[in-house]
Structure 1
Amino acid sequence: MPRYEFRCRVCGGTFEVNRPMARAAEPARCPQGHDETVKLLSTVATIGRSGFGGNAPSAGGGCCGGGCGC
C-alpha cells in the first residue's frame, strides 16, 4: 500500500499515511488533530551499478523500467 507524506500547516509537523492509491487525493488529519495539511511531493532516487566496464545493468527508470529504449 502506498505511503503518503503530509505536512501540517498549523504546527509544521510532518507525518505519513498509508492508504490505497484510489484515496491518494483525500485530505489527512494531523496527529495533533489539525485539519489544515498539505500532501508533500515524494521523490525516489535510483543509482546505477558501477564496475561493469560500461555495460552496467539498468537500474530502472523510464516508462517501462528502462528496457524499451524509449
Structure 2
Amino acid sequence: MPRYEFRCRECSTTFEVDRPMAAASDPADCPRGHPDTVKLLSTVSLGGLAGAGAPVPAGGGGGCCGGACGCG
C-alpha cells in the first residue's frame, strides 16, 4: 500500500499515511488533531541496494568492446 506524506499547516508536523492509491488525494488530519494539512510531493523510494544479493555481470555489456571481438 502506498505511503503519502503530509504536513500540518498549523503546527508544521510532518507525518505519513498509508492508504490505497484511490484515496491518495483525500484529506488527512494531523496526528495532533489539526485538520489543515497539505499533501507533500514525495520522491519514489525503493527498498534495498542496487545489485544487493544479485550477481553483477562481468565485462562491458556484450557490445563489440565488451570483450567479444578483441578490440580492447
TM-score range, shorter chain: 0.5 to 0.7
Uncovered stretches (5+) of structure 1, i.e. residues with no partner: 56-70
Instruction: Give 2:8's aligned amino acid.
Output: C
Could you say which structure has the larger radius of gyration? 2
Structure-2-length-normalised TM-score: 0.63
Structure with the higher fraction of residues in helix conformation: 2
Distance 1:10 1:24 in 2: 21
Aligned residues between the structures: 55
Uncovered stretches (5+) of structure 2, i.e. residues with no partner: 62-72
Alignment of 1:13-52 (within 5 A): 13-44=13-44
Q: RMSD across aligned C-alpha pairs, in angstroms?
A: 2.3
Indicate the percent of aligned positions where both proteins have the same amino acid. Answer: 64
Structure-1-length-normalised TM-score: 0.64
